[in-house]
Amino acid sequence: MRPNLACLCLCLTLCASVFAAPKARAQSDMMATRGEIITLLGRIYEGESLRGELEGRGFRGQNLSLAMGQVQRIMRDPVVAGHIADRVLAVQSGASIPMSQSQGLLWGLVDQGVGHLPLRDLRYYYLVEKTVLNAMPTRQCGLAVRERLRPEQLSDATAQVAARLNTNALENYYRIQLEAAKAGARRGPATMTTARAQAAEDRIFSALTERLATDPDAPRLIAAFADLDRASNRNACAAGRVFIDTVLTLEGQELRDALVYLSQPTLR
């Protein structure tokens, strides 16, 4: 599941726009082409078309202004725009781009950078993801947990939740989102040693076992965890909500390691 909120609702339009750029020119012109792409990114989301798209997803008032500003801020950030431009040029020149990036250059950056955030921001980011999951209708929630929603469906669902967030919460989330995108562009995905990742997985499993020991719905939740592909949307949704809620009960370094572990590209 990739609930990156309003960032998600822009990915398909972004990719369609930037990949419609002219074919790569001679090597001597590459910097000019990069500059053109960066300029394009800064102009894509301007005016009434952006406003209409966000209003269609439920943004109003201060939240609408925040969302419009966030889109423009991200697309005009030199680190983020430069990284996206470099990826576009790489595709144009025939280079292979990892699947996690080709599915959405912007959300790939946010995913990569989340694990570099300080614990306070990392925790807040996942608290928002928890809010999104809790606010989704059961069917959408289950499909998201089972990774069965098409990107555009997930983007609509998550953006609609973002539109209803408290304005202060949305503003803080957008600040974190931009920092994650810049960290992803500069540093790539956060990594863990095998031993540390295993320790984080074991701690999550232990916390989940403790939680389920007192949960009357444990049998159906355990069955859902064991086979999400075959779980009903109702059971998958319940399992996903219990999972993220349980992880967020951890504290200190255990919490940080668990959230960095969850941010690993192979797990997203």
Both tokens of residue 202?
Answer: 């074991």
Name the strand (E) or helix (H) holding 73: helix 61-76
In this prediction, residue 158 carries a pLDDT of 78
* 3-state DSSP helix/strand/coil % of the chain, to nearest 5: 75, 0, 25
> pLDDT value at position 21?
37
100, 109 contact by CB (below 8 A): no
Tokens coding 156: 């609509």
Compute the distance between CA of residue 155 and CA of residue 110 in angstroms, rounded to an integer.
14
Candidates 117, 41, 104; CA nearest to 78 is 41
pLDDT digit string, tens, across residues 90-116? 766 666 555 444 445 666 788 889 999
What is the model's pLDDT at position 45?
Answer: 63
Query: Would you say the C-alpha torsion 17, 20, 24, 25 has a positive or negative sign?
Result: negative
Res 41: pLDDT:
74
Query: Between helices 233-247 and 252-262, what is the axis angle to 10°?
Result: 140
Low-confidence ranges of the chain (pLDDT < 70): 1-32, 44-47, 91-107, 265-268
Residue whose tokens read 């909120």: 5
The torsion region of residue 244 among left (phi > 0), alpha (psi -120 to 50) and beta comes to alpha
* Separation between Cα atoms, residue 33 and residue 14, nearest integer Å: 17
Residue type at position 244:
I
SS3 223: helix
Contact 24, 86 (CB under 8 A): no
Q: How many domains does the chain have?
A: 1
Distance CA(137)–CA(158), nearest Å, equals 11
Domain that holds residue 233: 5-267
pTM confidence score: 0.79
